[in-house]
Chain A
């Protein structure tokens, strides 16, 4: 009982922390939940969470994104770099510079693009959607 009460309390707190917002600005609770998902056991989830944070473009999760630059999965690292480039936080410059020496060429290229964005010399976003819509749209007709 105590555990379920605790879960309820967490849920309630969570709901309180993510009030209905004006416009589409993401709530702090949503962003911290996505930042937690950067540590998910599944690499696809981590990559998708990084993509979502890049879309939201809040600087709230920058530390969590910088920590995720050491992810073992290259797709995660690439999306994290893409997100940091979109957020344009100067805090990420050192970590992104280190990523220029990544073993994966796609990651290195993403890091160069992200740095260009942060320094303002990257005209537009060269790779606006590194992780395309995972739409699981079921077959529209039954088998």
Chain B
């Protein structure tokens, strides 16, 4: 999924920004123009998706003073034409991500750089845009971390499209607002595995103890990915209420769930887990045994 590449990009913005000026690639990819806002706006309206993406990822153009670009960028959010990541000279491939990018994702990133003036337009797209635009809006709203997005993102957890619900669950985790706990707990029962996993992640990111009973329920999810993510979230929340359920999860059929549960028990640090973890030192999988040994050492604090 391309949004992950976007997320990584934003997270590493500070790092990438220092590298942008270094012409790492010898490939001729100079934009036709693109140091001024009006030049960039022309690029965003190009018939060539590579040029549109390149316009949207132009460095040092999108900031609070670039509000003139908001309508054009909002209009690009549904643009999912795949483009080589090399058109954006931001070194994305340097950390091994050579998946295609899209003008819509780059537009979402540019809107995040412009800042809070984009929140209301993004909320409107999240409610009534096309599918890809809704997904990209949800991502941008999560990256903007503005409390105005809380209720719209909660509503988007009931979007008809799985990718929108998943991205909205991520965004709510990025907001880290306890007001989303009940809605995300409901999303743990979503029909789509990806949505349930993302909701579990978000609840772990929010770190609110009220999520513990629902996450304990997800340790019984039919998907091992969801069970593992729930175990992670319970370790992130560090609430001793989860200890018995996590000890039981040391017997999960999936080794990664057992390993993650051992980690969570070490993170929680409750000595009631010691007996169960001692038994896990005999697990068939060495990764589980090692994690159990770590957890026993961590509990000794």
Contacts and interface: CB of A to CB of B under 8 A. Distances in A.
Interface of A: 11, 14-15, 18, 20-21, 23-24, 26-27, 29-30, 33-34, 36-37, 40-42, 44-45, 48-49, 51-57, 131, 133-138, 140-143
Contacts of A42: 286, 289-290
The 5 A-B residue pairs with the shortest CB-CB distance in the complex, in nearest-first order: A52-B297, A42-B286, A33-B278, A55-B297, A48-B293
Contacts of B14: none
B290 to A, nearest CB: 5
A30 B294 CA distance: 12
Given A51-B294, A142-B166, 7 more contacts: A26-B274, A34-B278, A36-B281, A48-B293, A134-B263, A136-B291, A140-B204
Of residues A49, A137, A138, which shows the largest number of chain B Cβ atoms within 10 Å of its Cβ? A138
B81 interface: no
Interface string B247-290: 00000000010011001000101011011011101100011011
Interface string B117-147: 0000000000000000000000000000000
A48 B272 contact: no
A52 B278 CA distance: 12
B293 A45 contact: yes
Nearest to A51: B297
B198 A29 contact: no
B298 interface: yes
B183 interface: no
Nearest to A19: B275
Interface size class of B (residues with CB under 8 A): 35 or more
Given A40-B286, A55-B300, A136 B263 contact: yes
B232 A29 contact: no
A61 to B, nearest CB: 12
B194 interface: yes
A18 B274 contact: yes
Nearest to B259: A136
A56 B271 contact: no
B62 interface: no
Nearest to A137: B232
B197 A142 contact: yes
Given A55-B297, A56-B297, A143 B290 contact: no
A143 B296 contact: no
Contacts of B279: 11, 14, 33
A129 to B, nearest CB: 10
A44 B286 contact: yes
A134 B300 contact: no
